[in-house]
Chains A and B, each alone.
Chain A
């Protein structure tokens, strides 16, 4: 007998429908799987056999052949277990074919017959389209987010077979809802002093500009970076769906609403490998940190300590806002539209006020050169952050809360989107002339900087983009970028400008 069961696999953050064809027929007892299964799928033979036997169901004593179609796709993961078991049982006439006619199955089997969650249920269900899906109880939320048809939950294989045979109705499983997302605890109001760095964060959030914070240990770089997500508006629906798919594919828990709407914040350690940061790995091409930060913030603390090769992998996603992972047999495009915020010390000794640094010019150059020129160039904002002085700490100036700043950011973003349909970060050179024209005095300032070798051609455009964001935040309605915005933009890009020889200044 023969049965064909719809299921799905996930590659990268993309689901692909897979048909599990099972044939049980005459021949010596045996079980073979074809259709480019990888090792984890081949292990499924033992799991399904044990699960069927543990569920007190008859296991066919003849030849079992399972084929996974389409055969050009390499299948990976244990998510096909449930479909294979259902296929075998249906082909062995334990389940009526009409009962599974419009059902798809996703789930991993335990040896005791229990059905377990697998990563990537959301993209898998999304790929299956308008069918009813049977998923493990623990994957309920992920399936609901992406499902077009109904979502059926099962806890064990025995329970599923009873339902499909019409012996019992679908069991109404209690879905443990994840704990409600805690309110963002990191508020900008807690940051004492640092008005300059706060301003930089606000501008970064408004224009989507990548930020490099340069400052001695203890200056509060990490504290400031952790407060950037609180300034960003919630994700748009399309981006939220993409973020949810990535989150599910990586096996991370989804928030209580199912959809990832809050901009994610990822802070990988500087020992992260290329596969961890960019994505990939053997076989399944897991999403990396750049994709997990999709729609949100990627924070690289001590960026100079990352392996240079790993950092250079960031250049493509920073440019294309997606990452293409190619391995033999796997070719995946993952979304990777994130705001990069990085922190580093000004020099190997940690730096400080003039006269405190112990490093000579060579050491300083070598340290800064750990970041390649093109990468350093991607940072629109390069801000010096300082340890606040005693006076600044004690100054009783009530600091603005994240909510206040976020409101201004949202307003500035709306202005930019209304005007040009994209964030200021994405403005091209030609668009800058249309949307961020300079006044004559501000053009004179930039000319002076260019002539004195403190600004390169690329840096010139970046300054103009940042100045555009500053003008948007200012709200004065000015469509022209004036001197004050240009001065502030230059001040916010000053770190390393004097350290680097011309050509690397950007």
Chain B
């Protein structure tokens, strides 16, 4: 009996889900190995073959011969990853297991050459039926970059576009936060670890909100740790699910550029937000622009790339802060240009150390500036989300 013939029967689903959750979490399991194992077999048979209960297929024999310790490692995993236990954990975390033959499996992924063999889902997959824009960027973002991401996320969500991102620190989290300001938004996150444990820790609240209001996707079962090798793999799913990918800030190297490359190979439109030539966080995005990426100056540009009417975008956000006056405006504007130090501000205003310290403290207190490591960055109207 092959997997395709399994009737969607409750018990059978639970059994298959258990074997899939167990198998996908084996150490040294990769999407392609999992695909090999599941090709023409039920999850139960694939599991038995992986742990050595039935003789390996010729394809698996080749895999075993390339990596000599894999056979012993996988057979040792049988004791640690018991299907019943894995299924109980999956259910407890509110996670569903979806394979490509499932009617709800995202169509964009089903036709992808590197289609994941299994998806773990929390939330409503219907979110993927809307127009989809990926907003991604570096974890070590500037305040300005995070603000931009939050603004794009909010304004896109406002016109009904689904925002996809990776739920990492920095740009990703800001984009999601922005999207969640819209009450009807169903943002989507593709993550690189099990759906039971929020990562990174500071995004726990955001993670849970996305699980409740939007959609969380992972190709790794519950309990899998966020190992570094899982993130580039996650990026291909993210790229495959988007129609337009916007890179807000990126270094000369990094995960965002991997996602951008994955997007290009899938003919997904890549856009980049231009940045200062002085900012290291914009080196990658500026290079993308030089390489032919579309410029994303504002939400209208992104909507245009989606082929949507852009006139609805960009409703002004209410700013509760008391307006600035006098030299405060100059200081705020120069911090908006690029991050400034106390020394830099003194040079600009010509004031003494004490007055400058007072002015900066006042502006920080009023929510116009934020300080990290002695650098002051401007907070725009979207900055409170970033």
Contact = CB atoms under 8 A, between A and B. Distances in A.
A469 interface: no
Interface stretch (A237-245, A324-332, A336-344, A387-395): A387-395
A194 B358 contact: no
A72 interface: no
Contact of B374 (A360, A384, A448): A384
A309 interface: no
A384 B353 contact: no
Interface in B341-381: 341-344, 346-347, 353-355, 357-358, 360-361, 365, 371-375, 377
B169 A360 contact: yes
A490 interface: yes
A96 interface: no
Nearest to A391: B347
Contacts of B373: 214, 346, 351, 354, 357, 384, 495
B375 A354 contact: yes
Contacts of A385: 374
A292 to B, nearest CB: 32
B347 A386 contact: no
A487 B353 CA distance: 10
A199 B341 CA distance: 14
Most chain B CB inside 10 Å of its own CB: which residue of A391, A474, A491: A491
Given A355-B145, A494-B371, A488 B353 contact: yes
Interface stretch (B87-95, B136-144, B214-222): B136-144
Nearest to A470: B354
Interface in A350-402: 351-358, 360-361, 383-386, 388-389, 391-392, 395
B140 A355 contact: yes
A170 interface: no
A488 B357 contact: yes
B346 A196 contact: yes
A11 B373 CA distance: 46
Given A196-B353, A470-B354, A487 B280 contact: no
A215 B373 CA distance: 8
A81 B335 CA distance: 71
Contacts of B141: 354-355
B57 interface: no
A384 B341 contact: yes
B192 interface: no
Given A351-B373, A386-B374, A491-B361, A484 B354 contact: yes
Which of B343, B346, B365 has the largest number of chain A CB atoms within 10 A? B343
Contact of A491 (B279, B338, B342, B365): B342
Contacts of A487: 354, 357-358, 361
B202 interface: yes
B343 A193 contact: yes
A394 to B, nearest CB: 10
A383 B365 CA distance: 20
B146 to A, nearest CB: 10
A411 B350 CA distance: 26
Contacts of A392: 343-344, 347
A490 B361 contact: yes
A494 B374 contact: yes
A214 B342 CA distance: 14
Contacts of B145: 355
B169 to A, nearest CB: 7
Contacts of A445: 361
Contacts of A389: 341, 343-344
B249 interface: yes
Interface of B: 138-143, 145, 169, 200, 202, 249, 279-282, 338-339, 341-344, 346-347, 353-355, 357-358, 360-361, 365, 371-375, 377
26 contacts: A195-B353, A199-B353, A353-B142, A353-B375, A354-B142, A354-B373, A354-B377, A355-B249, A355-B279, A355-B281, A356-B281, A357-B373, A360-B169, A384-B374, A385-B374, A386-B341, A386-B374, A386-B375, A389-B341, A483-B358, A487-B361, A488-B357, A488-B358, A491-B342, A491-B357, A495-B373
Interface of A: 193-196, 199, 214-215, 346, 351-358, 360-361, 383-386, 388-389, 391-392, 395, 445, 448, 470, 474, 483-485, 487-488, 490-492, 494-495, 498
Interchain residue pairs A-B with the least CB separation, the first 6: A384-B374, A355-B281, A491-B357, A355-B142, A196-B342, A487-B358
Given A354-B141, A494-B371, 8 more contacts: A351-B373, A353-B142, A354-B140, A355-B142, A356-B280, A392-B347, A395-B347, A484-B355
